[in-house]
Amino acid sequence: MNNHPVKVFRGTYLQCEMVRSLLENAGIESYLKDELLGTIAPWWAEPGGAGAVKVFVNSEDEEQARVVVQDYENNINKQLPEEN
Task: Look at the domain 5-76 and name its fold.
Answer: Alpha-Beta Plaits (3.30.70)
Is the pLDDT higher at 75 or at 78? Answer: 75
pLDDT above 60: residue 68: yes
Mean pLDDT of 13-30: 95
Confidence band of 27 (pLDDT split at 50, 70, 90): very high
pLDDT above 70: residue 33: yes
Confidence band of 69 (pLDDT split at 50, 70, 90): very high
Mean pLDDT of 26-30: 97
State the SS3 of 2-54: CCCEEEEEEECHHHHHHHHHHHHHCCCCEEEECCCHHHHCHHHHCHHHCCCEE
